[in-house]
């Protein structure tokens, strides 16, 4: 069993950390708000005073935070993971959805400090994290992935290796941009259906079994029709906007245009401007409902 430092105990991180603990690993955790670690500590995890303290003696450090800034703080801050005394050749596993630019920078810094870096964003909802059913989208050296795979298997059902560091993040940003376009499109479609006088429950049922269906569309249509944006938040509009913006930055790096993505990000900007950024991303239906031809 491995000694693991786990940093970031949000909706996804708590479930992932719990799976590692259940698999028998020695787990030390840190979160900006220590209360998030209460159940894990009761189950046998150790609570560290800082990311650096969590890293002391670790074979593997796993991070699950919200964005580039949060990732930079927990890895490179004065009390960050890289300031800890991890074992020689420890694995730095970054599971957050980050920009590819930052992944490249962090990989270089951590490698120079003697860590072995894995670009490892995940796909799946919080329930999948708690059930150990996530899909991992990995960019790493093949030998490194093979060695750390038994640890990653504790919270995943599938591990997809896309290539070297940065490849996993590139795919994650692409698929999340596709999701942003889908969600903006279906919100617009439902707003049209409502103005046309259609029964929205019937529209949702037809969409779920039709050619436009995807798990993302089906899930968000159900919440849009029910106006259920403030219950358990599966994925907030703020985080969707962040991921889509990182994807647009990747498109720019690659020298290509992404006009559909730009429209989706603009729609999500309107969502945030309306004060709905922390609501479920399905709240984008409110943006579509409020628009008129005169606003275009």
273, 198: one domain: yes
Q: What is the pLDDT of residues 66-95, one digit of tens each?
A: 999 999 999 999 999 999 999 999 999 999
Q: Note whether 180 and 286 are same-domain residues.
A: yes
- Dihedrals phi, psi of 104, to nearest 5 degrees: -65, -40
How distant, in Å, are the alpha carbons of 30, 194, 204, 241, 280 from that of 183? Answer: 33, 16, 13, 11, 11
Name the residue range of residue 93's domain. 3-164
240-260 pLDDT, tens digit per residue, is: 999 999 999 999 999 999 999
Residue ending a domain, choose from 108, 139, 164 = 164
- pLDDT tens readout for residues 181-238: 999 999 999 999 999 999 999 999 999 999 999 999 999 999 999 999 999 999 999 9
- Domain shared by 208 and 233, yes or no: yes
Res 111 pLDDT > 90: yes
Q: How confident is the model at residue 296 (pLDDT cuts 50, 70, 90)?
A: very low
Residues 133 and 199 reside in one and the same domain = no
**pLDDT surpasses 60 at 26:** yes
- When pLDDT is averaged across residues 104-126 and rounded to a whole number, the result is 97
The answer on 209 and 120 residing in a single domain is no
Q: What pLDDT score was predicted for residue 9?
A: 98
Same domain, 76 and 16: yes
Domain boundary among 164, 186, 220: 164
* Token pair 């787990």: residue: 27
**What is the spatial distance between Cα 119 and Cα 260, in angstroms, rounded to a whole number?**
27
Residue at which a domain ends, from 148, 164, 180? 164
Integer Cα distance of 240 and 242 in angstroms: 5
Q: Of 154, 157, 158, 71, whose CA–CA distance to 117 is shortest?
A: 71
How far apart, in whole angstroms, are the C-alpha atoms of residue 120 and residue 36? 23
- 159 and 178 assigned to the same domain: no
Kindly report the backbone phi and psi dihedral angles of residue 252, in degrees, each rounded to the nearest multiple of 5, phi listed first: -65, -40
* 278-295: pLDDT as tens digits: 999 999 999 999 986 555
Number of domains in the chain: 2
First to last CA, the chain: 58
* Whether residue 12 is found in the same domain as residue 132: yes
**What is the spatial distance between Cα 217 and Cα 238, in angstroms, rounded to a whole number?**
18
**178 and 155 belong to one structural domain:** no
Q: Are residues 154 and 200 in the same domain?
A: no
Same domain, 87 and 184: no
Cα dihedral 149, 153, 159, 165 sign: negative
Q: Residue 112 has which token pair?
A: 């120079």
CATH number at residue 224: 1.10.1040.10
Q: Residue range 36-51: average pLDDT? A: 98
Both tokens assigned to 174: 């692409």
Q: Which helix (H) or strand (E) is 46 found in, with range?
A: strand 46-47
133 shares its domain with 205: no
pLDDT value of position 291 = 86
pLDDT value at residue 236: 97
């Amino acid at each position: 069993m491995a000694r693991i430092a786990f940093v970031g105990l949000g909706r996804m991180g708590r479930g992932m950390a719990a799976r590692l603990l259940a698999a028998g690993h020695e787990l030390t955790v840190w979160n900006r708000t220590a209360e998030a670690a209460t159940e894990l500590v009761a189950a046998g995890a150790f609570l560290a005073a800082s990311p650096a303290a969590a890293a002391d003696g670790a074979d593997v450090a796993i991070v699950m935070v919200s964005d580039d800034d949060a990732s930079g703080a927990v890895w490179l801050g004065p009390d960050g993971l890289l300031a800890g005394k991890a074992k020689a050749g420890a694995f730095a596993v970054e599971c957050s959805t980050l920009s590819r630019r930052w992944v490249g920078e962090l990989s270089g810094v951590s490698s120079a400090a003697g860590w072995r870096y894995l670009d490892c964003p995940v796909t799946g909802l919080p329930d999948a994290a708690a059930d150990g059913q996530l899909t991992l989208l990995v960019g790493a050296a093949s030998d490194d992935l093979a060695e750390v795979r038994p640890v990653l298997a504790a919270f995943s059902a599938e591990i997809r290796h896309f290539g070297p560091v940065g490849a996993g993040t590139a795919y994650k940003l692409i698929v999340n941009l596709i999701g942003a376009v889908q969600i903006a499109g279906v919100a617009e479609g439902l707003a049209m259906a409502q103005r046309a006088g259609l029964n929205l429950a019937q529209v949702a049922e037809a969409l779920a079994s039709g050619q436009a269906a995807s798990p993302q569309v089906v899930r968000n249509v159900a919440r849009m029709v029910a106006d259920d944006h403030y219950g358990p938040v599966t994925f907030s509009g703020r985080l969707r906007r962040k991921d889509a913006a990182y994807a647009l930055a990747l498109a720019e790096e690659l020298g290509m245009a992404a006009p559909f993505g730009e429209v989706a990000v603009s729609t999500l900007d309107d969502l945030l401007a309306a004060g709905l950024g922390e609501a479920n991303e399905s709240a984008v239906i409110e943006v579509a409902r409020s628009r008129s031809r005169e606003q275009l």
